[in-house]
Copies of this chain bind each other. A is one copy, B any other.
Amino acid sequence: MAGEEKPVGIAVLGLGNVGSEVVRIIEESAEDLAARIGAPLVLRGVGVRRVADDRGVPVELLTEDIEGLVAREDVDIVVEVMGPVEPARKAILTALERGKSVITANKALMAQSTGELAQAAEKARVDLYFEAAVAGAIPVIRPLTQSLAGDTVVRVAGIVNGTTNYILSAMNETGASYDSALADASALGYAEADPTADVEGYDAAAKAAILASIAFHTRVTADDVYREGITKVTAEDFESAKALGCTIKLLAICERLTTGKGKQKVSARVYPALVPLDHPLASVSGAFNAVVVEAEAAGRLMFYGQGAGGAPTASAVMGDLVMAARNRVQGGRGPRESKYAKLPIASIGVIPTRYYVSLYVKDRPGVLSSVAAEFAKREVSIAEVRQEGIADDGGQRVGARIAVLTHQATDEALSETISALEELDAVSQVASVLRMEGAGE
């Protein structure tokens, strides 16, 4: 084949855990990669915030001039692993406009600007790959865009944030409180100094937006994703979960819904939920990630592996890089959508799920009946209910706790029920409200 020997020039933006690992693999696996691609990869430069001679990369390859680097004539492919949204977005747009293919691991950017970037790639007829933006090393984007391209995906549900899964797994195993599990996770390096993006579900919401966009061939941004974090999950919630044969996981859920009039909508949401122990996601523990995809013909598929970390994320980046480089050498481009649907986003209010509600009530006759009545008024059907007395230190009964598991109900009906329960004189406190996923209706 003509031109096979012409090297493919690579610019890497960012030299953190992932960038360092990408540079290492490009150097150490040079021969294997050249055989797979049909031409050698050559590292033209690495964009960093501050050039220094202790970065493990020859200092002459380092530059602080990101825009200059991506515009270089001898750069064919740009690997963006620096985050955050800016200046990554600007650098990627420059690269695409100049006809470079782009690989990015930037989930926040892809969740926000996927339409803009995809259009720029389309216009320049180059590749834009982002496998590493969701679930680290686990191939999820490529199976959804390619392997299932002839099928109809109906649902994607995943554990896509390792920090929160680590915290929730620890709470489940040790009975620890949220604060104590978070402190342990921080001490062990599983949670960042400011854990907000993880524990409030922003990271998972960005990934949910990307998953929903590619699973349903539409545009969903992080702002479209309903989001609840894990900061309110208590040790007591885990006790309740166990009593119900469940654990608690932070789930990212993307669904295609058909409304009464046959219209298609998309729901994307992130929240902690009770998951039955026999569900495949229940046994995904620690910092691991897993994504379950349900498609009409394929049935239920699960993908499992390490969702973060320098080496696993670099593996996903390198897969994309080899694909983009092969396309450069052999001609052609990776597959892309010809037409995107513009499916409307379903509001959380109309989404039906099952709920677990735990209440502290006064210990007097008729309380259970008046609580049950509030559910019934809003047609929220009760599947299970437990009531237990609460005693003070002297053994004196001072109140009771009522735990209710509902059948499927809309978020709207459930929210109204909770508001009404909070108004009841007999109810001291609504202690927790948790959704349940993966347990039938």
- A binding-site residues for B, Cβ under 8 Å: 4, 21, 25, 29, 32-33, 35-38, 131, 137-139, 142-143, 146-152, 217, 280, 283, 295-306, 311-312, 314-323, 326-327, 329-333, 335-339, 341
A143 contact set on B, CB distance < 8 A: 139, 142-143
Minimum CB distance partner of A148 in chain B: B319
- Given A149-B323, A302-B304, A322-B149, CB of A311 within 8 Å of CB of B297: yes
In the complex, what distance in Å separates the CA atom of A160 from the CA atom of B43? Answer: 40
CB-CB < 8 A to A29: which residues of B? 150, 152
Tell me the nearest residue of chain B to A311, going by C-beta. Answer: B297
**A302 surroundings in chain B (CB, below 8 A):** 302-305
What are the residues of chain B within 8 A of A326 when measuring CB–CB?
149, 335-336, 338
Name the residue on B nearest A305 (C-beta): B301
Contact B298 A137 (CB under 8 A): yes
Contact across chains for B295 and A299 when beta carbons are under 8 A apart = no
Q: A146-B142, A150-B25, A333-B332 are in contact. Are A299 and B305 (CB under 8 A)?
A: yes
This chain's copy number in the assembly: 2
Residues of B within 8 A of A137 (CB): 295, 297-299, 301
Chain B proximity of A21: nearest CB distance (Å): 7
- Knowing A302-B302, A305-B300, A312-B297, say if A36 contacts B149 (CB, 8 Å): yes
Q: Which residue of B lies closest to A310 (CB)?
A: B297
| Bound: A289/B394 CA distance, A | 57
Interface secondary structure of A, over-half rule? mixed
Please give me the residue from chain B that is nearest to A329 by CB atom. B338
Is B299 a contact partner of A33 (Cβ separation < 8 A)?
no
Taking a contact as CB atoms closer than 8 A, the residue among B4, B301, B316 that contacts A304 in the complex is B301
Pick the residue among B149, B300, B305, B336 that contacts A318 (CB under 8 A): B149
Given A139-B301, A297-B314, A312-B297 in contact, is the A35-B339 Cβ separation under 8 Å? yes
Shortest beta-carbon distance, A70 to chain B, in Å? 20
In contact, A319 and B146 (Cβ under 8 angstroms): yes
Question: Of A297, A317, A326, A339, which is in contact with the most chain B CB atoms at under 10 Å from its CB?
Answer: A297
Known contacts A35-B337, A142-B143, A326-B338; 15 additional CB pairs below 8 A are A4-B338, A29-B152, A35-B217, A38-B338, A137-B298, A139-B139, A147-B316, A150-B319, A151-B315, A151-B319, A280-B304, A298-B316, A302-B303, A302-B305, A327-B332
Contact B316 A306 (CB under 8 A): no
A319: which B residues are within 8 A, CB to CB?
A: 146-151
Q: How far is the CB of A29 from chain B (nearest CB, A)?
A: 7
Question: Contacts of A336 on B, CB cut-off 8 Å?
Answer: 326, 330
Minimum Cβ distance to chain B for residue A310 (Å):
9
State in angstroms the CA–CA spacing of A341 and B38 once bound together: 13
The answer on a CB contact under 8 Å between B299 and A150 is no
* Nearest CB on B from A407, distance (A): 28
Q: In the bound complex, what is the Cα–Cα distance between A312 and B330 (angstroms)?
A: 32
> A318–B36 contact, CB under 8 A?
no
Q: Which of B138, B295, B330, B337 contacts A315 (CB 8 A)?
A: B295
Q: Which residues of B contact A339 (CB under 8 A)?
A: 35-36, 38
A411 to B143, CA, bound (A): 37
Check A312–B338 contact: CB distance below 8 A: no
On chain B, the residues within 8 Å of A299 by CB distance are 137, 305-306, 311-312
A142 close to B147 (CB less than 8 A):
yes
Q: How far in angstroms is the closest Cβ of chain B from A74?
A: 21
CB distance from A202 to the nearest CB of B (A): 25
B327 engages A312 (CB within 8 Å): no
Contacts of A148 in B (CB 8 A): 139, 315, 319
Query: In angstroms, how far is the closest chain B Cβ from the Cβ of A293?
Result: 9
Partner of A321, one of B150, B304, B333: B150
Docked-complex contact A327 and B335, CB < 8 angstroms? yes
29 A-B pairs with CB atoms under 8 Å apart are A4-B338, A32-B152, A35-B338, A35-B341, A131-B147, A137-B297, A139-B139, A139-B142, A139-B143, A139-B147, A146-B319, A148-B319, A149-B323, A149-B326, A150-B315, A150-B317, A150-B319, A150-B322, A297-B311, A297-B314, A298-B311, A298-B312, A299-B305, A300-B305, A301-B304, A301-B305, A302-B302, A302-B305, A326-B336
